[in-house]
Amino acid sequence: MKQIPKINKARRIVIKIGSALLVDGQNACIRQSWLQTVVKDIVNLRMQNCDVLVVSSGAIALARYAFNLNRHKLRLAEKQAAAAIGQIKLAQAWSENFLAHDITTAQILLTLEDTETRLHYLNARSALETLLKLGCIPIINENDTVATSEIRFGDNDRLAARVAEMVGADQLILLSDIDGLYTADPKSDTNAQHLPIIEEITPEIMAMGGKAPSGYSSGGMATKLAAGNIATTAGCAMAIAFGKLQHPLKALQDGARCSWFLPNNSTYSARKRWIAGGITTKGIVYVDHGAEKALHSGKSLLPVGIIKVEGYFQRGDLIKISNKEGLIIGSGVTAYDSSEINQIIGLQTGDINASLGWEGPDEVIHHDDMVLPLSN
């Protein structure tokens, strides 16, 4: 039996706070007395030598009543406008509350694209590391204004997991309106059972995540489980805990019920963890049975094993690998763009250069740039 993680033993924690906790939905204002208690809990964690990063939702919810933006379904551009209005209030609330403890906060707005483009990812990572060294608390949110539907996380659960992976956090705490994962949504199934420990995120566990709820929240349980996949693959434990009460982190430290997702004993390098955490699909290469077997035995993907390419992508993009039957078996960074792969599909290594007219690498995806099995 694996050990249940303890929040007071963590060296670095990412805490994700959902809109419903931070924002009073009736009045579209910050739940100030609650926020004060969360900030106090975070200050205490830092006194125990733990680095803390906050992923905070709430920008859109804070702007709901401005400019008649209070309908349930907003268009993307309206959400972006609401986020731009609300983000100032959100950052100000965090800043003022931490300043009361002489702690400086720093706002970081990220998109899915930032976490999937290697250079942006490395820049964000070094900025976060520097902020932590300076003793600041990064307050992170999705950059909703520039995130169009294809490049949106759309939920801060997966963004938080990506951040946890980026900074090598040992714990990710998702504070929610529920105290963990149940076998079904307890709001609609009175027989649902609470699950205190999830050792592995199996397809059965994934199936327990329902659809996104209506109202101000956007993710629901499904995105929390997707976050669990990213975090645990990166070797980070994840908790889903009830956050609505005062001092929610202290409550967790004192043993309040929650669901812990235990980390994989992953020995992935930082680069492979980045690949494993990829969410978008720019394209897919389909491989034959021989190649599938070779990949599983640690070989690189060669053109000879590819039978089909889907999508348009550039060299260096993260793409998925599918077997002949259409099952995604992995992902990796491609050394060729999609039109080049179409030119060399099925070719033996010795014939690649003649077909391309220039000297390309032997591998379409090098073993060092590939993760199997796929983590999400």
Ligand X SMILES: N[C@@H](CCC(=O)OP(=O)(O)O)C(=O)O
> Which spans of this chain sit near ligand X (rule: CB under 6 A)?
18-20, 57-61, 83, 141-142, 144, 155-156, 217-219
Verify binding: residue 361, ligand ADP, rule CB under 6 A. Answer: no
Verify binding: residue 141, ligand ADP, rule CB under 6 A. Answer: no
Task: Determine contact, residues 371/165, Cβ cutoff 8 Å.
Answer: no
210 touches, from ligand ADP, ligand X, none (C-beta below 5 to 8 Å by class): ligand ADP
CB closer to ligand X, 159 vs 285: 159
Distances (CA, A) of 58 to 17, 18, 103, 272, 282: 8, 7, 21, 32, 29
Applying CB under 6 A, among 43, 151, 184, 356 the residue interacting with ligand ADP is 184
In the complex, the smallest distance separating the C-beta of residue 292 from ligand X, rounded to whole angstroms, is: 36
Q: Is 339 annotated as a binding residue?
A: no
User: Whole-angstrom Cα distance, residue 229 to residue 281?
Assistant: 16
Verify binding: residue 185, ligand ADP, rule CB under 6 A. Answer: yes
Pairing of strands 194-195, 171-176: unpaired
Verify binding: residue 181, ligand ADP, rule CB under 6 A. Answer: yes
In the complex, the smallest distance separating the C-beta of residue 42 from ligand X, rounded to whole angstroms, is: 18
User: Whole-angstrom Cα distance, residue 41 to residue 53?
Assistant: 13
161 touches, from ligand X, ligand ADP, none (C-beta below 5 to 8 Å by class): none
Q: Is 91 annotated as a binding residue?
A: no
182 touches, from ligand X, ligand ADP, none (C-beta below 5 to 8 Å by class): ligand ADP
Q: Is 224 annotated as a binding residue?
A: yes
Nearest to 39 by CA among 246, 253, 260: 246
Task: Determine contact, residues 239/33, Cβ cutoff 8 Å.
Answer: no
**Burial environment of residue 169 by CB neighbours within 10 A (0 to 12, 13 to 18, 19 or more):** buried
- Length of the chain as a residue count: 376
Verify binding: residue 187, ligand ADP, rule CB under 6 A. Answer: yes
111 touches, from ligand X, ligand ADP, none (C-beta below 5 to 8 Å by class): none
Angle between helices 156-166 and 220-233 (to 10 degrees): 10
- Known binding residues for substrate are 57, 144, 156
